[in-house]
Structure 1
Amino acid sequence: MTSGRGGLRRSAPVRRVLGQVHTAGRVKDCGETVEFSWPGVYFEGRFRGTGVGVVLDCAAADYDVQVDGATVATLVTPGDTTYWITGLRDGEHAVRVVKRNDTPGETSAFGGFVAAPGGAVLGRPAPRDRQIEFIGDSITVGYGNMPHTGACDPEQVKRNTNSDVSHGALTARRLGADYQLNGFSGFGMVRNVSGICPDLTYRTYYDRALLDVDGDVWQNPGTWRPHIVVVNLGSNDFSDLTPGESWTPDGLALAYRTAYDGFLRTLRTRYGPGTSLVAVGFDRNAAHVRQVVDARNDAGDSGVHYWSLDLSGLDLLGCDGHTSARDDRLIADRLAPFLSGLPTGW
């Protein structure tokens, strides 16, 4: 098997990318390309022949290319290119490309798959019957979870982040589900880590497909109806207060619980009574999340569930004390059985 880069085929016949690939991610359909921003967005296709080209235009993020379930290439900020995988056994193959990291300040573009000479791109794979949406911060992203030594500078964080082996992605695959990883590192429900960007929160961006486009709203094609939504927001809200912040501990806790309750109400309105909402308690936010869940249950919404992210056995050897890939596997080991036991109708 060989691989390499080639120029983007501008003279190729016009084709709609979403007509040849399956994705569950939040993308903006531009016809010949799709644009996206969130981490972990993946595109799956099928082809016949001895090679396939992956058409990308992205100078910010990293990608894994997988053929028949095995990773055959990792593309680091590939730019405007068609990346070729060649020398495959002649026959039918599955191909998947996945965005490894979070780059909220940039928009990425995917132009589909191109078959090597003599081959053909086949019909897109069928969507999975199950869907799970993960909402959260760096823990959901898989921030710096790959093996590394010493402290991580910003570039090392990017290279060592792999959302495809985050606990959410692993959990979804174990349950045979399509998924979205709508994670934004550093942001919280009402307050961000170290008090940064005080006029913005995770909720500012949640509705967007393109995170760097003010006012952008993701247009759900009507196929995204998650059976489960997992919310893990609060680590940044309750990070240490910095000098000059106006929050008091009691005021922050009240604002957090109020906003969390409102966010769960919004999710319930959006997805309906058939979707199970899972609120994750973690570290300093656990008691507050439990209180919000109890309040929603008392108000008659029995589809809101509490799950505690257990830190026991975790090495926290990811960048800046985050979970490692090993930790993500352990978390998935614990989360998948919990989700499979919810009344989803699976």
Structure 2
Amino acid sequence: MTPYGRFVLRQDQGLEMISSAMHVGFSFEGKSCQIVASIPSANGHNYLQYELDGVYQKRIKVVGNSTIPISLTAPTAGKHTVWLYKATEAHTGPIFIQKIVGNQLVALQQRNGPLIEFIGNSITCGAAADPSEVACGSGQYHDQHNAYLAYGPRVARALGANFVLSSVSGIGVYRNWNSDGPTMPDVYEKVDFQAANPQRWNFAAFTPQVVSIALGTNDFSKGDGKKERLPFDSARYVNSYVKFVQLVKAKYPKAQIALLSSPMINGKNRETLQNCLLAVKNSMDAMTPADKPLALHFFQPMQARGCAGHPNVDDHAILAQELEPFFKKLIR
């Protein structure tokens, strides 16, 4: 079995799915199989989503106090493949896959193709993108998460690549959307991106060919308008970003690093962000002349149609289409 994304295998609770779009595959014989899943909070809920025979199906609500297994049903009998995904991000809390029940169960092994790691914020998570079941402004924040249909997984599928998402809503490089931290450089090494967790992620688990970093939207944010927020500091942003790229390079010395701007930042801030990312590239390229130069992609401006100004699932399709030729060059 090859789980993709941040996970922990626990003796008592099975596979702990942690990060956005963390996924695992298996095949079964017959017409249906059952997933025994749970979450830590008896009063909470979370979401899985799945592919059946290569076709995306839907999101599945995992309710904390439910003891009923989740049944996945195929239209016909025979051999079927399932890829099971976590629809929500690490900060939503884990989903435990305790058991899979079915006939002739076989774990699916690693799919051929390069691996892309997508580091980012709520956009990369696919947060606030899918109000098809719970309308914007109602329910819990993670009720509109759809990691499977976020731009990163879409790009990877289009290019025949594998992927992992390392993303946290509201996070930035030197400050977050409404706080000074902990920022992505502070939490990237933690297994669940939580600063207080002493458990670190084992970076030997995956070797990405490309690491995509899309951070900056929240550094530019004006916050909630209540908490004091200083103007954007270009020097702090660039210096913090350079240090973070050095950290990523230390984990994956041979990976191609790609920096993405933000489709949600327009006007003068868009120009400032692009200049900052160019400064990060120039600084890193000068420091590491023997390595592959950093790649840059500046998004076209977008009027996002999801919840709270985020891209919705259709917007993510547009972003993915824009990114495909960029990533295709990097993994060839």
CA contact (8 A) 2:37 2:69 kept: yes
The question of 1:219 aligning with 2:217 is answered no
- Alignment correspondent of 2:76: 89
- Alignment correspondent of 2:222: 240
The question of 1:42 aligning with 2:23 is answered yes
- Alignment correspondent of 2:52: 67
Instruction: Give, in angstroms, the shift of residue 328 of structure 1.
Output: 0.8
Deviations 1:309-343 (A, max 9, x none): 112xx44111111112111111111111111112x
Deviations 1:189-247 (A, max 9, x none): 11111x33x34112222112234562221124x34100000000111011126566474
After superposition, the Cα gap between the structure-2 partners of 1:48 and 1:149, relative to the gap in structure 1 and judged at 3 Å, is closer
Give SS of 1:164's match: helix
Instruction: Give, in angstroms, the shift of residue 55 of structure 1.
Output: 2.1
Instruction: Give, in angstroms, the shift of residue 73 of structure 1.
Output: 4.8
Q: Could you tell me how far apart the structure 2 residues matched to 1:256 and 1:265 are? A: 14
- Matched pairs, number: 313
Calculate the TM-score normalised by the size of structure 2: 0.86
Q: Could you tell me how far apart the structure 2 residues matched to 1:207 and 1:29 are? A: 18
CA contact (8 A) 2:38 2:62 kept: no
Unmatched runs of 5 consecutive residues or more in structure 1: 1-20
- Alignment correspondent of 2:117: 133
CA contact (8 A) 2:38 2:97 kept: yes
What is the 5 A alignment of 1:244-263?
A: 245=228, 247-249=230-232, 252-263=233-244
Q: Could you tell me how far apart the structure 2 residues matched to 1:288 and 1:97 are? A: 38
Pick the aligned partner of 1:163 from 147, 171, 176: 147
Q: Could you tell me how far apart the structure 1 residues matched to 2:201 and 2:206 are? A: 11
- Alignment correspondent of 1:4: none
Identity of aligned residues (%): 22
The one-letter code sitting in structure 2 at the alignment partner of 1:138 is S
Q: Could you tell me how far apart the structure 1 residues matched to 2:73 and 2:181 are? A: 49
Q: Could you tell me how far apart the structure 2 residues matched to 1:321 and 1:209 are? A: 29
The one-letter code sitting in structure 1 at the alignment partner of 2:30 is G
Instruction: Give, in angstroms, the shift of residue 86 of structure 1.
Output: 3.9
After superposition, the Cα gap between the structure-2 partners of 1:245 and 1:86, relative to the gap in structure 1 and judged at 3 Å, is closer
Instruction: Give, in angstroms, the shift of residue 75 of structure 1.
Output: 1.5
- The farther-off stretch of 37-46 and 149-158 is 149-158
- Root-mean-square deviation (CA, aligned residues, Å) is 2.4
The one-letter code sitting in structure 2 at the alignment partner of 1:278 is A
The one-letter code sitting in structure 2 at the alignment partner of 1:177 is A
The one-letter code sitting in structure 2 at the alignment partner of 1:217 is R
The question of 1:30 aligning with 2:10 is answered yes
Calculate the TM-score normalised by the size of structure 1: 0.82
Deviations 1:110-138 (A, max 9, x none): 224220xxx21024233333100000001
Instruction: Give, in angstroms, the shift of residue 185 of structure 1.
Output: 0.5
CA contact (8 A) 2:91 2:168 kept: yes
- Alignment correspondent of 1:51: 32
Instruction: Give, in angstroms, the shift of residue 267 of structure 1.
Output: 1.1
CA contact (8 A) 2:155 2:323 kept: yes
- Alignment correspondent of 1:17: none
Q: Could you tell me how far apart the structure 2 residues matched to 1:50 and 1:128 are? A: 27
The one-letter code sitting in structure 1 at the alignment partner of 2:55 is A
Deviations 1:143-186 (A, max 9, x none): 21125699833626422221100000100111111111111011
The question of 1:279 aligning with 2:259 is answered yes
- Alignment correspondent of 1:13: none
Q: Could you tell me how far apart the structure 1 residues matched to 2:260 and 2:132 are? A: 28
Give SS of 1:327's match: helix
